[in-house]
Chains A and B, each alone.
Chain A
Amino acid sequence: MSAVHQFSLAVQNTAYFTALRESALAYPIILASHLATIAVFGGLILMTDLRLLGLAMTKIPASQVIARTRPFKHAGLLIMVTLGIHLGGSKLADYYDNPYFLMKMSLLLLVFVHAMVFRRSVYRNPAAVDAPGGPPRAAKAAACLSLALWIGILSCGRWIAYYDRPEGQQARANQIARQR
Chain B
Amino acid sequence: MLQFRYDPATNPLNNNEWSFPLFECIHIAMFAMSVGTIAIVDFRLLGLLFRKQSPAEVLKATSLWTLIGLIVVITSGMVIFTTDPLSYYYNWSFRYKMIALVAAIVFNYTIHRKVAMSNCTAAVNAAVGAVSLLLWISIVFAGIFYAFVEELPYVGGPPV
Contact = CB atoms under 8 A, between A and B. Distances in A.
A43 B35 contact: yes
Interface stretch (A6-14, A55-63, A170-178): A55-63
Contact of B36 (A24, A43, A161): A43
B36 A35 contact: no
A72 B65 CA distance: 19
Interface string B43-80: 10000111011000100111011000000000000000
A158 interface: yes
Interface residues on A, range: 35 or more
Contact of B25 (A27, A28, A43, A158): A158
Contacts of B33: 42-43, 46
A38 B32 contact: yes
A114 interface: no
B32 A36 contact: no
B148 A47 contact: no
B125 interface: no
A44 B140 CA distance: 17
A60 B62 contact: no
A32 interface: yes
A41 B144 contact: no
Nearest to A40: B39
B17 interface: yes
Given A43-B37, A46-B36, 12 more contacts: A24-B148, A32-B144, A38-B36, A39-B32, A39-B35, A41-B36, A46-B37, A58-B61, A59-B61, A64-B50, A159-B25, A161-B21
Interface of B: 17, 21, 24-25, 28-29, 31-33, 35-40, 43, 48-50, 52-53, 57, 60-62, 64-65, 133, 136-137, 140-141, 143-145, 147-148
30 contacts: A27-B148, A28-B145, A28-B148, A29-B141, A32-B145, A33-B141, A35-B143, A38-B28, A38-B32, A39-B32, A39-B35, A39-B36, A39-B136, A40-B35, A40-B39, A40-B137, A41-B39, A43-B33, A43-B35, A43-B36, A43-B39, A46-B36, A69-B49, A154-B25, A154-B32, A155-B25, A158-B28, A159-B21, A159-B25, A162-B17
